[in-house]
Amino acid sequence: MPNRQQDYIKYRKIYSKFIYTSFHYYIKNEELNISFEFLLESEFPKDLPSVKFEPSLNLALPSSFKGNKIKSQEIDNLVFNMGMVELISYWKAACPAEVIIKPFYLNEDQIQFWKKLYWNGLGEFFYINEIAADMQNFMHIRTDSSKKSESFSLQTEQKIIVPIGGGKDSAVSLELLKSSSLKLFPFIINPRGASLSTIKQAELPEENMLLAKRSIDPALIRLNKQGYLNGHTPFSAMLAFTSLLQAYITNTKYIALSNESSANEPSIANSNVNHQYSKTFEFESDFRNYYKNYITSDIEYFSFLRPLSELQIACLFSRIKNHHYTFRSCNVGSKTDSWCCNCPKCLFTYIMLAPFIAETELNAMIGENLIIKPSLKTSLEELCGLTEVKPFECVGTVEEVNLSLIQAINKNNYPKPKTLKLQVVTEAEKLFAKSLKDWNQEHFLPEFLEILLKQKLSTC
């Protein structure tokens, strides 16, 4: 991608302000319909008019929903904060220096939370577009309201919302949490074949399924086609805040994500550039502090798989064979519910599963042997840490890729790549065995779920 520094400077001069104007919601036909209004304000409206955005999010309400339990001031707080996440997808088109928040007042602590999320969540965006910016000056947030959103108390029940993406991680969470005896609500934003199949294969009641449809304003797509700035934004932060709303609607105490400890490793070593920033423990901790102080302290958001590595999750996934032919981890093939077999994410998934699943079965699951595929040589080197930058995908650490790859090579007698980072096979064998028993202490699991996860992990 070409250097966009001059475009960044140009657009910031044309559009000096980004305004979060308002949010709206209403219930109709058993759906909660939410919309946000943003304005990209032009300094030269006669030549380049200001751009109005109105993205939306529709939540299908569960059959158990009781509308009379909803309080407008509580929904206002939840929806307002969802808009604070949504705005970054539209701000990045021109990156105005000033962001004005009109619906509610934000104190300095709240402003710093959002600024940190935006800065780190856009690390990949700035890197890929070769934009030089700094955290202090890339954005100044101010509020244009004295109205404060009040935190509130909830009477929650011992139930668990489990966001589902369609990959191996959420399938593992769902299957393991089934044995907790608590009622599960699988939650999907923009359902696709693989995410729906995950719920079907887990044999959960259809009425427990929570669905949401997030729609991008066509005006943003038009700007993208015209060459405005574009790139990765922290989707998992939007998932986090939307999950809070779902927990409120269903009176659910627990929200169990499927983010593992490996997500903490940046895409570029010793930098803030992490494709998975909003899946990191750092974000999880910041988010918990934020919503407990400013929304409600009666919901527990955590990643169920946080103590584990990608290797451990792959081991657990190898045991739940009912998901082997329906899960999908490929972003390229997501719209067609397929594996493209030519991207870093497909290769990474293959490498992780190779030590635990026979080659013939794994080839049938994903399509072909990707470890020995010549066209993926560059991706293999990036995953193994032989380049400065890891693929900008949700992939594991350099160490676990090398460990898994050596294990797969030994198991299947593949030709050993000359560029493999971990050359000492005997040491790798010991490290691999040890890695399956590791337990990351940085997590927020309730004690009863920590016990459950340790029991399941002991089988690996």
Summarize pLDDT for 374-412 with one digit per residue, the tens: 999 999 888 888 888 787 777 788 888 989 988 888 887
Task: Please choose, from the candidates 139, 24, 153, 41, the residue with its C-alpha nearest in 3D space to the C-alpha of residue 80.
Answer: 24
Lowest mean pLDDT among 136-140, 213-217, 409-413, 452-456: 409-413
Give the model's pLDDT for residue 418: 58
Q: pLDDT for 353-362, tens place per residue?
A: 999 999 999 9
CA distance 380 to 406: 13
pLDDT reading at 254 higher than 80: yes
Q: Which residues pair with 162 in a beta bridge?
A: 186
Coil vs helix vs strand at 40: strand
Query: Per-residue pLDDT averaged across 179-189, rounded?
Result: 96
Contact 243, 301 (CB under 8 A): yes
pLDDT of residue 104: 98
pLDDT recorded at residue 69: 67
Kindly report the average pLDDT of the chain as a whole number. Answer: 92
CA distances from 306 to 121, 186, 261, 302 (A): 19, 18, 5, 8
Report pLDDT for 184.
Answer: 97
pLDDT at 419 over 70: no
- Residue 416 is predicted with a pLDDT of 64
Across-strand partners of 212?
Answer: 59, 189
Neighbours of 226 (CB within 10 A): 8
Q: What percent of the chain has pLDDT over 70?
A: 96
From the list 442, 126, 398, the residue with the least C-alpha distance to 269 is 398
Provide φ and ψ at 175, rounded to 5°.
-65, -40
52/90 Cα distance (integer angstroms): 10
What pLDDT is stored for residue 325 in this prediction?
96
Q: Which pLDDT tens digit goes with each residue over 319-331?
A: 999 999 999 999 8
User: What is each CA distance from 453 to 39, 155, 306, 408, in whole angstroms?
Assistant: 46, 27, 10, 26
DSSP state of 25: E
Q: For residue 241, is pLDDT > 70?
A: yes
**Domain residue ranges in the chain:** 5-303, 326-438
pLDDT of residue 333: 82
d(CA 220, CA 223) in angstroms, rounded, equals 5
Q: How confident is the model at residue 424 (pLDDT cuts 50, 70, 90)?
A: very low
The 10s digit of each residue's pLDDT in 42-68 is 999 989 999 999 999 999 998 777 665
Q: What digits encode the pLDDT tens for the residues 26-37?
A: 999 899 999 999
Least confident range of 100-114, 194-208, 265-279: 265-279
Confidence band of 420 (pLDDT split at 50, 70, 90): low
